[in-house]
Structure formats: C-alpha cells, structure tokens
Amino acid sequence: MRTEHDSLGQVELTDDVLWGAQTQRSLHNFRIGRDRFSIEFIHAFALVKKAAAQANHALGKMPDRHAELIASACDEILQGRHDDQFPLSVWQTGSGTQTNMNLNEVIANRGNELAGFDRGSYELLHPNDHVNMSQSSNDVFPTTMHVVTAQAVHGLLQTLGTLIECIDARVADFEDVLKSGRTHMMDATPITLGQEFSAFSAQLVFSRDQLLAALPSVQQLALGGSAVGTGLNTHPDWSRTVVERISALTGTAFTPAGNKFMALAGHEALVDLHGRLNTLASALFKIANDIRLMNSGPRCGLAELRIPANEPGSSIMPGKVNPTQAEALTMVCVRVMGNQTTVGVAGSQGHFQLNVFKPVIIHTVLESIGLLNDAMASFEEHCLRGLEANREQLQANVSRSLMLVTALSPAIGYEQAAKAAKFADDKQLSLREAVLELALMSADEFDEQVDPRQMLAPHE
C-alpha cells in the first residue's frame, strides 16, 4: 500500500495502480453502473495531454524534461500499455473532472517512475501543476470529446462508403430484374430491383453527405477556454498552439473554437452530429426491413430475395434460415434512435457557463457511432454481399400484378381500367383475361399497351 494526498487529505492506494488520490475517491464515491469510457476516448485524452505538454514547452512555460516525460507517459498510454489504469464510471461529475484527473495522475506517476522516482511522490511531475498546465477540465474534456468523435466519424464514413459501394454493385446486378413495386404495402406499378436498390444507395449517400457537413463544427476545439471561457491562466498563443499540435498528432485539421464560452456551455455540434446519426439509423432501418420483407418465405412469403444462410435459424425447426443480420442492424438502429433523446436532453443542460452532462453525451455519441459502424460492416459482409434475386418469383409477381392496369388508363380511362382490375380480382383472372372478357380492347391492343418494361420511366 501507499499513501497519497489531495486537497481533502490522504488516501490509501495499492502499489499496483498508477492513479492517485482523486481517482481513488471517485471509485469510492461513484460506484454507479458498469459503463466505462471507451479506450478510444482514453487514448484520445492521452493524445491531447501530449499535445498540451508540447505546446506548453513551445511557449516557454514547461522545461524540456517535464515535457519529455509527459510525452513518454502519454505514448505508453497510446500504445495500450496502461489500459487498465482508467477504471472510472461514466456516471460521475458532469464536467468529467475525475476522468481528467485520472489521466493527470496516471501520466504524472508514470512520468515520475520513468525519471526514477516512486509512485505518488510527485517529486518532478505534479498532476495539476504540470500535466494539467494551461487546462481546465471544463475545456480539456470537451476538447477530447471532439477529437475522439471526429476520429470515430472518419472511421464510420469509411464503413458507410463500403456499404454504399456494395449496394451500388447490387444496383448494377439487378438493373434488368423486373418486379412489382409496392406502396402502402400493396401492389403498385412495376420497377426494377436495381431501381429499388438505387433508393437505398441514395438514402445512404444523403446521410454520408450530412455527416461530412457536420465535421467542421466537430473539429473546433474548446482548449483555451480554461474554466469559464475567458482563457484564465493561459498564454495568449496557447489555444492556437495546442490545437496545431493536436492536428499534427492526429493528422486531422482541427481549429480553435470561435467562441470558447459556447464551447464550454453548449454542445450543439455533438447534438447536431447525433441528429445526423439518427438520420442514418432511420435509413438503415428502412433498408434492412425492406430486405427482410423481400426475403420472407421461402415458400409462404414474398421470397423475392435470397439472403446467405449464415447459421441455423431455429432450435426446433430444422432447415429454417432467418434474416439475422437485418434483425441485428435494426436493433442497433433502435438503440441509436433512443440515444437521440439522451443526447438532445443532455445537450440542453448548459447551465450558465458549463454544460454538466459531458460524460453522458460523449459516451452516448461514441456508442451510437460504434454500433452503427459495426452493424453496417456486418450487414455488408454477411448479408448484402451474398444476396441474390429470386428472378422466377419476381417475374411471376409481375405477371400476376393487377397494377399493370395503370398502363390502360390513358387508353380506356380510369373508370374502365378500375372496372377491369376489380373484375379480374373478383373472378381470379389475369388482367389480360379480364379486359378481353369485358371487351374493353382486343388482345393485340392490350399487348401493345401493357408492356411492364415501358412502365419504368417517363415516355411520350
């Protein structure tokens, strides 16, 4: 055991931990749930701390040795060597101060160890005076929120791009596959399966473009705002310098927030971003459900598509194959839609100079991004890539559809066409048979007028 001190007194810790007194107090005081910040968030925090040390050194505020030791400790965290040293619950103080201090204590203790001093001695590096120099939890925590979110969105966009490419390939594969369209879940005029899938692609392209448009705001960082946005205890060039360092370390073009007061008190950029994630979830839900319905059967459903048989679908019904990838994706979408409420309410809690729902905002945003990223990749690999059209069933549906009658309206009028469709349905006839029996037109006239492939686009 070892003893450390903070402003409230001494705390006992085990020798095997790198954290200090404030982290230990948080472990005792916030034993709430099992949610922990993702390791991506912790690594992004370490990167920001490294950038801060480099910026303080460049501005003449930190000696060489201090900056080197902080950077070395941060590099070890970024390499995953201390992932078990960040145990705090998401459900803590709303500014994220305890997690900020967790980073400060681990970095200080590890830096002191590298310099030959004992853990907890803080002989050379101090968590507040050195690792937290020029920072407040109120600006460094939201900075990390934006850094890790930008990184996660860039990854999400890559996965989304792959999904769009896969759907576009399906569009090309199915461009000549005629099928019956549906509106209100009822038969409608013909389209091609390729046209149907082109709508899926367009929906996802819309979401991709919206996410891209959100990135510039996400890439504005709060550092330099200090405690309330005024920049107290920081160098005049601090904000610009540290953001330049973060940009260099990440390879992403971050900029200082234009209004530091807003950057601390409000999180509109992340609320807006999650709204766009919600739009993506809405599109994915529709796409997955359509594919699930078109795959229904194989004998007693629509049976228009065949999805890959990845695993047995039932513990009691042999040979059953279920649309499990669609089910997983739609469950993720439902979770993201629920998260939208959480982020929206949390974003509204900017009382005076500080929003104090920061931990739940970033936890929820990252959960939504991570779930969407994984679910899209799984759906693309295990469903869309091996999906096939049941061409025979699709053709049979087209030939039976009464909505081909729409092509008759210009020739015999709406009322007569409706009469033919109702007669065909009542008598269980084909549309052609009904028109001939009602003597509405000759066989040749019907065949010339009703060509499903001439119903796929405007024509004179």
Show which residues are catalytic: 184, 314
What are 314's two structure tokens? Answer: 């039932």
Q: What is the token pair recorded at 191?
A: 């389209």
Q: Is 317 exposed, middle or buried (0-12, 13-18, 19+ CB in 10 A)?
A: exposed
Q: Which amino acid is at 46?
A: A
CA distance 341 to 357: 13
Place of tokens 């404030």: 22
Identify which of 16, 19, 21, 15 has the alpha carbon closest to the alpha carbon of residue 2.
15
Indicate the annotated binding residues for substrate: 95-97, 126-129, 136-138, 183, 315, 320-322
146: left (phi over 0), alpha (psi -120 to 50) or beta: alpha
The residue among 297, 425, 314, 64 whose CA lies nearest residue 433 is 425
CA distances to 157, 220, 280, 352 from 267, rounded to whole Å, are 22, 11, 20, 13
Report how far apart the first and last C-alpha atoms of the chain are (Å, whole number).
Answer: 87
Instruction: Name the nearest CA neighbour of 190 among 406, 430, 434.
Output: 406
Residue type, 234: T
DSSP E strand stretches across 2-119: 2-6, 9-13
- Tell me if 3 sits within 8 A of 69, measured CB to CB: no
Binding site per annotation, positions: 95-97, 126-129, 136-138, 183, 315, 320-322
- Determine the Cα–Cα distance for residues 195 and 178; give it in Å rounded to an integer: 9
CA distance 223 to 135: 7
DSSP string across 176-213: T-EEEEEETTEEEEEEEHHHHHHHHHHHHHHHHHHHHH
The distance between the two most distant Cα atoms of the chain, rounded to a whole number of Å, is 102
The reply to whether omega before 308 is within 30° of 0 (cis) is no
DSSP string covering 261-330, please? HHHHH--HHHHHHHHHHHHHHHHHHHHHHHHHHHT--SSSS---EE----S---SSSTT----HHHHHHH
